[in-house]
Amino acid sequence: MSAELKKALLDQAERDYERERREIMERLAAYQELLARMAAMGGYTLPLWAEGGDAGFDAELRDLSLLERAGLIKGAYGFTEHNMFRKYSLTERGKEIARKLQVTEKS
């Protein structure tokens, strides 16, 4: 029974991995654009809640979350009286990759 459970869980993990990999390859241009935009603007602020309701930026939040897990950006929560937001900035590694992407685009 334990072997069946292990196999079922590992099979699901493999499917999740393949799906995530496909999504990264499909969205690579969007990730590059986001890094370039952050480099040009010196950071990025994403509203999460506005006046107590979801701000509706789920796709951007997923993209930013992946970049953060990859160590390319770092984020911190911020609050105002009615809103919650997440402020992102490039890490040193993210700055280096953004510079390389910029050089590649110019070539």
pLDDT digits (tens, 9 = 90+) for 57-85: 788 889 999 999 999 999 999 998 888 88
- Spatial CB neighbours of 81, under 8 Å, sequence gap ≥ 6: none
Q: What is the pLDDT of residues 1-59, one digit of tens each?
A: 799 999 999 999 999 999 999 999 999 999 999 999 999 999 988 888 776 666 567 88
Domain ranges across the chain: 27-106
Q: Using a cut of 0.85, tell me whether the model's pTM lies above it.
A: no
**How far apart are the C-alpha atoms of 43 and 89, rounded to whole Å?**
4
Candidates 1.10.3720.10, 1.20.1090.10, 1.10.10.10, 2.40.50.140; CATH matching 27-106:
1.10.10.10
